[in-house]
Amino acid sequence: MNLKLATTLTVAAMMLVSAGQSAHAQVGKALGHDYNFWETMGWQHHAQNQARSLYVYSQTPQPAAAPATEHVTAARASVVSAKKNLAELKKVQPDNKEAQASIAKIEEIQKTLLAHCDKADKAIAGGKQDEIAATSADMYHDLDEANAEMAKLQKALKIEKPAPPKKK
């Protein structure tokens, strides 16, 4: 592939990503804090699924490092994304003490989760299967705690569960 074609394809891909992010941001603004709440929940659930998958994978005989690392990387990315959305929720009602308390607890859990990801990376690099399992179990249960705190936040922000999408 020549350099001009590669450059054109790269620019086109960047424009598509940028347009998608812009549309994503517009939807977030249109729906307000409900959107940020539900997206935060989604990211947390994704991180929890990755922690579960990592735990199950750590139980296999001689797990390879690459798949385990992929689960940790995905969990970390999900926690980081949840953290960004939570920061937006923090701005919604600064005087709502109940909401701010829940957000503070979730932020602490997120710090712990990122530390677990670092610990899991080290365990994977060292081939410590038992430590991988223990760390992923800790991640899973910490995310349960974060999800319980999100339920309190939902109540504090008076966010109702949305109706499921309509079937065509």
- Position with higher pLDDT, 19 vs 62: 62
- In this prediction, residues 6-31 reach a mean pLDDT of 41
Q: Which of 166, 159, 168 is nearest to 31 (CA)?
A: 159
Q: How far, in Å, CA of 56 to CA of 68, rounded?
A: 10
Token pair for 82: 């949840």
Q: Which of 144, 158, 154 is nearest to 113 (CA)?
A: 144
Structure pTM?
0.78
- In this prediction, residues 33-61 reach a mean pLDDT of 93
Q: So what's the pLDDT on residue 32?
A: 62
- The three-state (H, E, C) secondary structure of 82-130, written as one string: HHHHHHHHHHHCCCCHHHHHHHHHHHHHHHHHHHHHHHHHHHHHCCCHH
Contact 141, 45 (CB under 8 A): no
- Ordered structural domains, the chain, with CATH: 31-156 (1.20.120)
64: which DSSP letter?
-
Token pair for 133: 């399992």
